[in-house]
Amino acid sequence: MLKNKKKYLNFALLFEIMKTKLIKTIGVLTSGGDAPGMNAAIRAVVRTGLSFGLEVYGVYRGYNGLIENDMIKMESKSVGNIIQRGGTILKTARSKEFMTKEGRQSAYENLKARGIEGLVIIGGDGSFKGANIFSSEFNIPCIGIPGTIDKDMAGTDFTIGFDTAINTAVSAIDKIRDTADAHNRLFIVEVMGRDAGYIALYSGIATGAENILIPENKTNISRLIQDLSNKEKRQKAVNLIVVAEGDEYGGANNVAETLRASMLTTEIKVCILGHIQRGGSPSCLDRIIASRMGFHAVECLIFGFSNLMVGIVNNEMCFTPFEKAVKETQTISRDWFKLIKRLTR
């Protein structure tokens, strides 16, 4: 991990390096699942690159755009009025063809023809794995910006889209709680998180959920049933369970079936929030971190760095090699589980 790069990065040095014309043209793409704030990152990359005299190309539909030569030269006005928009103006996709050597060869030939000498990849671990292989094969410097609502990347406290996603989930769960209270029902709310439970963890704590089920913590279903039975006996009016889709019981519907079979008399309802969590205008935090990361991604390319993910740790910029970022994930501290245990009573 490269720490404290800012100690030797300054504008005077940047312009001195620019005089040597180490890099003239860069491309930016969004890959994998969309996340609110990706547009803010695109905007930052484009305008930072242009401010240093670079040509900047936008690549449509992720790695598919590289293979199919679907790119456009971008100007400052190309990214006007997009910082507040969800989704990504460059579109996104998961490319099976890029997983092949032939696909990557086509991508390289298209970049070479346009004179593109470096790439900024906005996406998650799968996108960075592809960038790492591509860079090693063809010596194209690639810098990654973590854009994923799951917050599951090592080397950064934040990923673009997470803050917006949890605020969307919190807003929805608060409304569900009103209905649960009115009807004395048990609601099981499923949020996104196939491999990581951060959305469930944060939104569950923030909404006062009585139980939170996440992939990182083994679910004791017997204890859960006993806990709900005790609450039923003392006529607790509202019960709310937030479960990540990747929980070992397979999400909200499977949990509901298990609880109904336990002879609980409380009416059980399931609500799956789904892709609503991916959309919407990005929060202030997501716009800020996307802008910071986009700016520093371009700096990295100008200074000749490659195969790094730009992150933020303790509010400082942090730079993690792709290999480390994709092999490791953020681990949930045991303190979180202690907090859940004490508050979900």
Q: What is the CATH number of the domain that holds 54?
A: 3.40.50.450
Domain identity same for 227 and 286 = no
Q: Classify residue 343: in a domain, yes or no.
A: no
Whether residues 176 and 55 fall in one domain: no
Residue 183: which domain range? 162-278
Instruction: With CA atoms as reference, report the closest residue to 118 among 306, 324, 322, 309.
Output: 306
Looking at the domain assignment, is residue 259 inside a domain? yes
Helix (H) or strand (E) holding 76: none
Shared-domain flag, residues 76 and 169:
no
Q: Which residue has the tokens 């006993």?
A: 226
User: In the sheet that 55-59 helps form, which strands lie side by side, from edge to edge?
Assistant: 71-74, 55-59, 25-30, 118-123, 142-146, 308-313, 316-321
Q: What is the per-residue pLDDT for 237?
A: 54
Both 251 and 309 in a single domain?
no
Q: Is residue 317 part of a domain?
A: yes
Per-residue model confidence (pLDDT) at position 5: 47
Domain end point (choices 220, 247, 278)? 278
Q: Do 12 and 143 lie in a common domain?
A: yes
Look at the chain and count its residues: 345
Query: Which of 34, 70, 125, 150 does the annotation list as catalytic?
Result: 150
Residue 313 lies in a domain: yes
Whole-model pTM? Answer: 0.90
Q: Point out which residues pair with 25 in neighbouring strands.
A: 55
Q: Both 149 and 296 in a single domain?
A: yes
> Does 342 fall in a domain?
no
Do 259 and 322 have their domain in common? no
Report the domain count for the chain.
Answer: 2
* 229 & 304 share domain: no
Q: Is residue 93 part of a domain?
A: yes
CATH of the domain at 204: 3.40.50.460
Q: Tell me the one-letter amino acid at 77.
A: K
Does one domain contain both 195 and 291? no
CA distance 232 to 241: 14
| Interatomic CA distance for residues 124 and 345, integer angstroms | 35
| Kind and range of the H or E run holding 242 | strand 239-244
167 shares a domain with 157? no
Identify whether residues 262 and 287 lie together within a single domain.
no
Q: Is residue 345 part of a domain?
A: no
Ranges under pLDDT 70 in the chain: 1-21, 234-238, 263, 344-345
Our answer to whether residue 152 is catalytic in this structure is: no
Q: Nearest to residue 15, comparing CAs of 304, 212, 303, 237? A: 303
